[in-house]
Amino acid sequence: MNAAINFPAWLRADGRKGIRNVIVVAYLVECAHHVARRIVNQADNIDVHLIGFPGCYPNQYAYEMMRAVCTHPNVGGALLISLGCESMNREKLLNDIHSSGRPAELLVIQEAGGTKSTIKSGVDAVARLQAQAAHAERVPMYLHELIVGTICGGSDGTSGITANPAVGRCFDALVAANATCIFEETGELIGCETIMAERAITPALGMEIEACVAKAEHYYRVMGFGSFAPGNADGGLTTLEEKSMGAYSKSGSSPISGLIKPGDIPPAAGLYLLDVVPDGEPRFGFPNISDNAEIIELIACGSHVILFTTGRGSVVGSAISPVIKVCANPETYRRLAEDMDVNAGRILEGEATLDEVGKEILHHVIDVAAGKRSVSEDLGHQEFILTYKAFEPIGPSCLPVRQIA
């Protein structure tokens, strides 16, 4: 891979670089959701994104996630919409965003006159934030500065033999170019913990990986079901182990450099596993209630781009970071071509090899990083969901090497 590959990016005050310059309008409780959505709708701009947290009760995870996404390198500014009596610490969040060097404003509905008044003020605020964000410095960004996440959703019997291993090939090329890659779904890696541990760069990290998968298995057992949906079975998957091996193949074959949790930014180039299952005894329901919850956690870890593989078919995208859809099943691709970026089903029909599709995915990553809209972006998908969770900080054995790429 040519190390000189670069594309224009927005330089942030913290030194990170973004491939987009979006303004986020963030509701801080469900009671402010409608007002925030109306502000975004009236802005009528593909680069104004709606995000938020619906809960009224305090949760440190939710706060850290909101802070992480509002200060993501793809974000150029933020408007916070508060009802006024929720537990989210709106002033601290506003100060954290300001401290990151981004323009930010806060509107409190109970103080702003109500729905119509807040919407009008919000539309004006978005216009101001866009004007300020437009002055962000443009600089070259190189391939090794990218963080790329991956997730699979709507998996079927083709996922583990086409799209997922093709993404693995792309990941291997990115890691070889000193980029950063993140894979996750610890609840869908049950049974793969030993082979992942063998790829860890230290024995201590290997033990942490095994422990996090054991935690996921315990969590699912207590909840009474695993991450295996009826649609997976309808699509030809027969066991959780089969699904796990398919999901695992997205990680490629590079050494695993670290284990992180939602909101942790990988400190150096390499391949990282994201632990998405809460710590402690199960108390928040199913760990990730939809694919979009996991996408947001990948984004909170700094992912500029998300690679989403699907066999059954999925039409979702995301706020903040572009989602590139890689379709595993050729029949699904033919039915849902308008929502897909890459047809990995060509592998199944003998029209392409894993290596060829892996290179195609890599080229899509580079093109999207350079400004080309992914299909889900172009269609206006901006899904976002955030729920209650709790995590303990990672220990030093989770990040055994801190290198400057």
Asked whether residue 214 is domain-assigned, the answer is yes
Question: What pLDDT is recorded for position 403?
Answer: 42
Asked whether residue 28 is domain-assigned, the answer is yes
The tokens describing 189, both together, are: 């890696």
Say which residues have a Cβ less than 8 Å from residue 164's Cβ, sequence separation at least 6. Answer: 152, 246, 247, 249, 250, 309, 328
Rounded mean pLDDT of the chain? 92
Q: How confident is the model at residue 272 (pLDDT cuts 50, 70, 90)?
A: very high
Question: What pLDDT is recorded for position 186?
Answer: 86
Chosen domain end from 103, 121, 138: 138
Same domain, 172 and 194: yes
Task: Give one DSSP letter per residue of 14-77, joined into a string.
Answer: TS-EES--EEEEEESSGGGHHHHHHHHHHH--TTEEEEE----S--HHHHHHHHHHHT-TTEEE
pLDDT of 308 above 50: yes
Counting the structural domains of the chain, the total is 2
Same domain, 52 and 193: no
Same domain, 108 and 150: no
Same domain, 244 and 123: no
Asked whether residue 404 is domain-assigned, the answer is no
Question: What pLDDT is recorded for position 287?
Answer: 81
The range of the structural domain enclosing residue 44 comes to 6-138
Asked whether residue 1 is domain-assigned, the answer is no
Chosen domain end from 83, 117, 138: 138
What are 207-248's pLDDT values in tens digits?
999 999 999 989 988 887 666 555 555 555 555 665 566 678
pLDDT of 369 above 50: yes
Least confident among 139-143, 227-231, 340-344, 393-397: 227-231
What are 250-271's pLDDT values in tens digits?
999 999 999 999 999 999 999 9
Same domain, 94 and 160: no
Question: What pLDDT is recorded for position 376?
Answer: 97
Chosen domain end from 138, 159, 186: 138
Name the range with the highest mean pLDDT among 1-10, 69-78, 189-198.
69-78
pLDDT of 405 above 70: no
The model's pTM is 0.94
pLDDT of 156 above 50: yes
Same domain, 203 and 131: no
What's the rounded mean pLDDT across residues 335-346? 97
